Structure 1
Amino acid sequence: MAPLGPFTALAAVGCSGGADSLALTRLADRWARARGGAILALIVEHGLRPESVAEAKATAVALTARGIAARILPLALPAGPRLQERARAARRAALLGACQEAGTPHLFLAHHAEDQAETILFRALRGSGARGLAGMAPVTMAPEALILRPLLGQPKARLAACLEGWGVLPVEDPSNRNPRFARARLRDAGAGALEAGAFAHRRARHAAEEAARLAAAMRLLPEGCAELDPVALGQDRVARRLMAALIRAIGGRAHAPPEAAVAALLARGAGTLGGARWLKGGRWLVREAATGGWDAATGLWDGRFRAAPPPAGHRWGALGADAARFRSRFRHLPSAALAALPALRREGDGMLALVPHLAYHASGSEVSEPLHFAPLAGPVTECHPPG
């Protein structure tokens, strides 16, 4: 836990009740207490097995008895296709939402060396590009909390040893060994034997390359667009990775476009892809068309801007054709970027009440709703902990 020194000793831990997450919970608890802090164990109960409710309660009781605050997060996922994928997305959303509600700025997750190796192999089999094959990041930024994975370099067996003498019995989810799921098949095939250190080194190298290129060739603006120098950007693998991340952020999408499509866009020097539009001349990358609404689950409008729920009698929407009213005062932005900005309108007549990025507030209106650019998929580049 030493590399976590700079972080505040106030954190949540994703605790499934399994051996890995219990080991992290014990380690994090000791780490936080030594710094005068405390942790909150978040136990996600998926509702997929009859036993899971009792298991979650037993884990919460055991942790509470050891002075660790615990909270159960029920999901009640419906059966159906892509179950594990849906479960991962719902689990992440529930954990981050609980962090935001509890005011804990950091979330610890117990992914270890074998998990990292399985992730790399799984992505390789699905044809992931260089970014995906770099594995999970030790630090990931989300609007609700900073996600920390301090155990990526540790083998599973070492984590199990951390539980000796603690008196908390881990729960084994049988779906982890169910051959119906691809990750379970990879686990049985010995995917965890891969060396995870090389992946961590590769990810750190990629992040450094992208950060350097970003500084030289791109400027991401709070208005949800980017100013580019196409010559400095280039068309190599670093350019493809960085452009894919920018397109994902500006387009408000959860996933980046395929590498081949990004390479083709770079070769053309302009065009549309993944909800983003690269304007002729190569200087601006803007939102193609802001059509998404406000999502209560994520708190995002158009997958890009964190906004409060629209007040009664109002709705969030794109500035659209009304951008022409502001063109003379905001010539530093292209018209397409202005048109994609979020605007608060009155229901019924559609009159503008507020355009936060342009400091516009309708005369007589009492509405004031701050927002900021916080793309659905997180930051363009990643950060890494010291050590």
Structure 2
Amino acid sequence: MPERPDYTALTRGQIAVLDRINAGEAGLPVLQQIVRLAQETLGGRGAGFAEYAADHGRIVAATGACTPAIGRRVDRADTRLRDGRTLLIPLGSLNDEFAKQVEGGDVKRMLGARCEVGDTIVGSLHVYFGESDDEPGPEHHAVLELLAGYVGRLYAARDGLPVHSSEQARRQENRDLWVAVTSHELRTPVTVIKGYADTLSNHWDTLGDIGRQEAVRIINTRAGELARLVDRLLSAASEDGDVGASPAGPFDLPEALRSAVEELPADLRRRIVLDNLPAELPKAYGERDSIATILTELATNAEKHSPPGSTVELCAGADEETLRFRLSDRGAGIRPEHVERAFERYWQAEGGDRRHHPGAGLGLYLVRRLVERQHGWVSLRPREGGGTTAEVRLPRA
């Protein structure tokens, strides 16, 4: 870290940010530029911004060593930034989920600044420094406070930034999640039952006894599965709309992903390339049964927004805290301002093959809720060379 902030970079960056704001631009692309400017000006190893809702935060922009944390839901329990506009905190004493995802190993302290609109703290801007870096001085604090003020100005405009959740919104989200889970879980058995019922109705005479018996057997099996699903899904929703979860525990993520791929529709399954699914990975901790739902929604979204017949690559890996898997397509690519909006319920991007893939905009919303229920997180980002990468991270067992 330089002894003083890079004021030349700061001046250039401020002009660029102000030009975009004065031109009417707002939202995540400008926020990401401010975060990048904070890292560049202060000489940090990484930087990030956590947006605050009523009871939690979410990392919506990050650069450098902090990039893997984008999309993560974080705790707001640490209230020390309420006492001063900026604060230097050793990572070892910090209740901060950012710290767990900083790559490089030598990042030891964080300089944070609260971002305000009036009397409301809308989030916090963080820059991370290494063990060999000098301690940030008063000028570093002042620069970060200045940049935090720009973030506050963006949130005052409210255009294109994630929406804060109220308690009423949380309850509505839980009800929507229950509806989305129910719809997804029931889709397969209902489709199979209807298909075989149509076959019996239209081809009774040509099927023969063996064919008719097999169709009836499958209908009976799927009807039993459907009855069990209805019982489980109805009992999962409590009176306040909270959604129950299947038991969590250690599971083999690559094996679960391979099984989930086998359950995909044939046309979509043929497009999936198992690019790198190592046979030996640490166990993930979560709900194994949810992986099929999560993968189906992400793969369907990739199929919807990429050319017919193009491949979708699936890979998995691990670090010290998490296991991850990624689905990468070669479609048009998600716009930076949509990487958070895509997870809002009912929101749908323009384009995509809606004729073959109609929907209500609940797929990615469902994915985020299911992943966060397991203390993981999910994010989208444009893929280098074109396309979109969806990444899911789950805790290690």
- TM-score (normalizing by structure 2): 0.27
Q: More helix by proportion, 1 or 2?
A: 2
